[in-house]
Amino acid sequence: MTEVVRLNAVSKVYGKGHGAVAALREVSVGIPAGTFTAIMGPSGSGKSTFLHCAAGLDLPTSGSVRLGGTELAGMNETQLTELRRKRVGFVFQAFNLVGSLTVTENITLPLTLAGVRPDPAWLAEIVRRVGLDGRAGHRPAQLSGGQQQRVAIARALVTRPEVVFGDEPTGALDTMTARDVLVLLREVVSGLGQTVVMVTHDPVAASYADTVLFLADGRIVDSMSAPAADKVAERMTRLGAWT
């Protein structure tokens, strides 16, 4: 299987000297194409940092990150942005959308910024898939939290990226809405062959993934295939997340 993302001995240290915090320590991992990966771990274990480094939002202190075969080290901010624009989609926990733009405009924002015309057929397809038919002209303020996350997912898909990253994409939603969004993400992977990497602290959310990677203290300490929610919860308890 080809790997969309490859991290080799990636370390990230925040700050200098005495106050330095090692958020990631020598992490090496590959994310295979067309899979749904969940990253779990106690708070402060380095999940977000992992995501930032893997997605080219931040550069690691040492080690190598390859995104779809391209080495990120040595790229400047503009090159990184252009790379993200083409190859990466994002779904954040909240504040995903630009309030002044309509749903359609928010979805096509990465294309607008890249100066590329959207493909109408593809746009219609993803709008239908995320269930936003008839909402195209609405503003974010007129949508519920779940609908806003759907817009964000559609935006993440619009450039046909190699990988979609989500940082607690369901963290701000109620259980029912969260389930709908997770079903959608699962469907994106199974139906479209999209690669998705999602940070979460919720075992139920993780159970929708193909693989769960467990982070503790900046290291990948375990992984689990075909995870079930109760198994994940048990593993997390042993990592000290809920003690």
Interface contacts to Mg ion, rule CB under 5 A: 48
Give yes or no for a contact between 189 and 196, defined as CB atoms under 8 angstroms apart.
yes
The token pair at 126 is 């993803």
Least Cβ distance, residue 161 to Mg ion (angstroms): 21
Examine residue 20 and tell whether it contacts other proteins (CB under 8 A).
no
Task: Work out what residue 101 binds among Mg ion, other proteins, ligand ADP, none; the CB cut-off runs from 5 to 8 Å by kind.
Answer: other proteins
Task: Work out what residue 46 binds among ligand ADP, Mg ion, other proteins, none; the CB cut-off runs from 5 to 8 Å by kind.
Answer: ligand ADP
Task: Work out what residue 84 binds among other proteins, ligand ADP, Mg ion, none; the CB cut-off runs from 5 to 8 Å by kind.
Answer: other proteins
How far is CA 51 from its chain centroid?
Answer: 7
Contact window for other proteins (CB under 8 A) among 23-31, 110-118, 182-190, 216-224: 110-118
If one counts every other C-beta atom within 10 angstroms of the C-beta of residue 3, the result is: 16
Residues of 93-126 as b/e, b for ≥16 C-beta within 10 angstroms? beebbeeebbbbbbbbebbeeeeeebeeeebeeb
If one counts every other C-beta atom within 10 angstroms of the C-beta of residue 18, the result is: 5
- How far apart CA 55 and CA 89 sit, in angstroms, is 9
Kindly write out the interface string for residues 26-65 of this chain, putting x where it contacts other proteins by CB under 8 A and - elsewhere: ----------------------x--xx----xx-------
Binding stretches for other proteins (CB under 8 A):
48, 51-52, 57-58, 77-78, 81-82, 84-85, 90, 92-96, 98-101, 109-110, 112-114, 140-141, 155, 167
